[in-house]
Structure 1
């Protein structure tokens, strides 16, 4: 059985530079809409939006210093909750540009917000709000992140604090009456 592979797998990570400016938001992932992601309606299938947001998360993990070597050490970040908002369609071959901002974090969790834009028009196509948890993969349970990762998250969160809060963050789903 073939497993899911992100475009960044095997690429490692760049060393963290404390003096480098942290972009707000981070823009780490771009991709065209793959023919494999297009459904019978002629546009990107709903599950593929999550796949692309997952690739954006992997780019973010590597920005933080979380790569294969980190995972080989028995640690990783897992997604525990995702809220997707689909805004517009994307067709085969169209360019996608993603951004990510850190909304909050604590010793074990990271709250992030992704935006997917059309790479040509700039139109907002979709958003994803995610809660991630740091895990000890050998014990199969949550665990505190190393101090170095928490320090980097704090720096990113400070840089992203100046961004306006996304209006959809934390909104419950339901039929308004």
Structure 2
């Protein structure tokens, strides 16, 4: 059976270092636009923006320490809401550079903001705001993150708190009149 596989699947995660500087924002994922992602308009299809943001989330999960071994313990982060803002087109083979900023977190939830930029021109191509929830996979219910992950999230949040808050965050969709 075919399934979606992230580029980081099977790579584990690096050991967390409490003394290491935490970049603001995190820059954990880059990729060229795959020919499989290009639609009949000659540019990256809208669903593939979400795919690439998902790969960026997976890189973030591994940065935190959430990998296959962690999921074998019956826990993971699930996305409960995503808002994507498409700004510019991306064509086949163009380089994509992604960043991730931790906006907020509590015992069960993580609020992140992604930016997708052109890897050569730095033009903003798209953004995604996501709300993630920590779950017990078997029970299908949200549960608190373990203390070591809450500690890591707090450290990342402190590092990212000085960044200007993105204007797009929390904005409702609609036709302005």
| Correspondences of 1:1-177 after superposition (within 5 Å) | 1-177=1-177
Unaligned runs of at least 5 residues, structure 1: none
Q: Matched residue pairs, number?
A: 177
How many angstroms apart in 2 are the aligned matches of 1:70 and 1:109?
Answer: 17
For residues 125-177 of structure 1, the C-alpha deviation after alignment (integer angstroms, 9 at most, x for no partner) is: 00000000000001111000000000000000000001000010000000011
3-state DSSP of counterpart to 1:56: helix
- CA drift of 1:20 comes to 0.1
3-state DSSP of counterpart to 1:110: strand
How many angstroms apart in 1 are the aligned matches of 2:139 and 2:80?
Answer: 17
How many angstroms apart in 1 are the aligned matches of 2:134 and 2:167?
Answer: 26
Unaligned runs of at least 5 residues, structure 2: none
3-state DSSP of counterpart to 2:80: strand
3-state DSSP of counterpart to 2:96: strand
For residues 77-114 of structure 1, the C-alpha deviation after alignment (integer angstroms, 9 at most, x for no partner) is: 00000000000000000000000000000000000000
TM-score (norm 1): 1.00
How many angstroms apart in 1 are the aligned matches of 2:54 and 2:96?
Answer: 14
